Amino acid sequence: MLVDNHGRKINYLRLAVTDRCNLRCNYCMPAEGINFAKREELLTTLELKQVAKVLVEMGIEKIRLTGGEPFVRKDIMDLLAFLSHLEGLKDISITTNATLIGKHLDELKQLGIKNINVSLDAIKKETFEHITRRNSYEIVRENLFRLLNEDFNVRVNFIVLQGQNEQDIIPILNEFKDYPVGIRFLEEMPFNGGTKSFGSIHWDHKKILEYITDYFPNYQKLDSPKTSTSVNYKIDGHQGTFGIIPSFSRTFCGSCNRLRVTAKGDVITCLYGKPKTNLREIIRGNDSFDKIKMEVERVIGERAKTGFEAQKEHENKVFESSMTSIGG
C-alpha cells in the first residue's frame, strides 16, 4: 500500500498517454498548440504497460487514462486490453473529448471498461466551437448520446468559463435531465500553456452552486466518497446528478489519493506542483523496476500537504504548463 507523508493512502493513478490533442480548448492550450514532446520522449506502449504494472503492484487500484486526447494514440486499445487483465487493478476509466471514441465502443464493452468522463463545456454549437477552436460539435454529441444509450457510466465535465459558457449551465442540466449522467462543473485552473496566474476566479464553487440554486431550488446534497473531488447533488425530477469540483479553491486536498504520470514519464504528486521525478529514464536505463518503486516511494514520502503549498514551487508565480501535458 502507498501512503504519503501526511497519512493519505495513494491508490489512484491518472496516466496521461499522450500530450497530443485534436482539439485546442482555450482553457487548456494556446491556439497554435504547445511545444509538444518529441515522439521519442513519449512513453511507448510497452513502457506505459510497465509503469502501470509496477504501480499496481505498489498499491494503485484505479487508473484513469487521460492526456492530451487518449484516443489519438493508435495503440490505446492495446493498452486498455492489457490493463483490463492486470491483476489488482479494480477500476479503469477514461477522460476523453469524445471525438474519436465512437468506433471503439464495442471493444470497450467487451473489455468491461464502462467509466467514461466526457469533457463538454457547451450546449450550443457556437460556444463549443469558440472554446475548442474546432468544429467537432456534431460528432461529440453523437458519441456522447451513444455512450449514454449503450449504458456506459458517463460523467460530463463542464468548466465554467467567465464570459464564455455560463449561459449554458442551466441548459446542460436540462438537456440531460432524463439520463443517468453526472454533470460536473469545474472551476477553471491556471494551466493553459501560457503564463497564467490568477489569485481568484469569478466562477468559484460557491457562485456556481448559488447560480444553479436560483433555477433549481429543490435538490438534495448526496453523500460522496471521502476521496471524491466533487460535492454532489440531485435535482428533484432529474435522473442524474450534478457535482461541483473546487479545482481552483482546492478544498479537497486533505483526502487526495492521486498520483499523476505524464506521457513523458514525469511523476506529479500534486497538480499545482512541479514534476518530482521521471520514470522514462529509469525504464530505459539499466536499472531494475525496483528503482521505479524506490523513486515513487521517495516522492510520495515528500508530498506537499495542499495545492497551495505545492504552488509555492512556482517561484515566478505563473503556471507555464498546459493541462494537455499534465492530464487534468
Residues of this chain that bind ligand SF4 (CB under 6 A): 21, 23-25, 28-29, 67-69, 97, 119, 323-324
Q: How far is the CB of 89 from ligand SAM (least distance, A)?
A: 20
Q: How far is the CB of 73 from ligand SF4 (least distance, A)?
A: 12
Determine contact, residues 285/38, Cβ cutoff 8 Å.
no
Strands 62-66 and 12-16: parallel
Q: How far is the CB of 68 from ligand SF4 (least distance, A)?
A: 5
Q: What span, in angstroms and rounded, lies between the C-alpha atoms of 87 and 56?
A: 8
Compare residues 11 and 325 and give the one whose CB is closer to ligand SF4: 325
Compare residues 4 and 69 and give the one whose CB is closer to ligand SAM: 69
Tell me the helices (H) and strands (E) count for the chain, helix number first: 11, 14
Q: How far is the CB of 148 from ligand SAM (least distance, A)?
A: 16
- CB atoms inside a 10 Å sphere around CB 1: 8
Which position has the grid cell 460522496? 224
Compare residues 21 and 212 and give the one whose CB is closer to ligand SF4: 21
- Please choose which of ligand SF4, ligand SAM, none residue 168 contacts, taking the beta carbon within 5 to 8 angstroms, the exact cut-off set by kind: none
Compare residues 119 and 165 and give the one whose CB is closer to ligand SAM: 119
Residue 196 sits at φ, ψ, to 5 deg, of: -85, 145
Query: Residue with the closest Cβ to ligand SAM?
Result: 328
Strands 153-159 and 91-96: unpaired
> Which grid coordinates belong to 66?
487521460
- Site for ligand SAM, rule CB under 6 A: 21, 27-28, 66-67, 69, 95-97, 119, 157, 159, 186, 188-189, 191-192, 247, 323-324, 327-328
Compare residues 27 and 203 and give the one whose CB is closer to ligand SAM: 27
Compare residues 36 and 216 and give the one whose CB is closer to ligand SAM: 36
Compare residues 21 and 292 and give the one whose CB is closer to ligand SAM: 21
- Please choose which of ligand SF4, ligand SAM, none residue 208 contacts, taking the beta carbon within 5 to 8 angstroms, the exact cut-off set by kind: none
Q: What span, in angstroms and rounded, lies between the C-alpha atoms of 229 and 30?
A: 27
DSSP code string of 157-169:
EEE--TTTTGGGH
DSSP state of 223: P
Compare residues 30 and 301 and give the one whose CB is closer to ligand SF4: 30
| Secondary element (H or E) of residue 105 | helix 105-111
- Please choose which of ligand SF4, ligand SAM, none residue 11 contacts, taking the beta carbon within 5 to 8 angstroms, the exact cut-off set by kind: none
- Please choose which of ligand SAM, ligand SF4, none residue 19 contacts, taking the beta carbon within 5 to 8 angstroms, the exact cut-off set by kind: none
Q: How far is the CB of 29 from ligand SF4 (least distance, A)?
A: 5
- CB atoms inside a 10 Å sphere around CB 167: 11
- Please choose which of ligand SF4, ligand SAM, none residue 29 contacts, taking the beta carbon within 5 to 8 angstroms, the exact cut-off set by kind: ligand SF4
Given CA atoms 261, 198, 95, 216 in this order, what sign does their dihedral have?
positive
Determine contact, residues 307/253, Cβ cutoff 8 Å.
yes
Q: How far is the CB of 72 from ligand SAM (least distance, A)?
A: 9
Q: What span, in angstroms and rounded, lies between the C-alpha atoms of 93 and 114?
A: 7
DSSP state of 235: E
| Secondary element (H or E) of residue 295 | helix 289-300
Q: How far is the CB of 250 from ligand SAM (least distance, A)?
A: 12
- Please choose which of ligand SAM, ligand SF4, none residue 247 contacts, taking the beta carbon within 5 to 8 angstroms, the exact cut-off set by kind: ligand SAM
> Which grid coordinates belong to 143?
458519441
Q: How far is the CB of 118 from ligand SF4 (least distance, A)?
A: 10
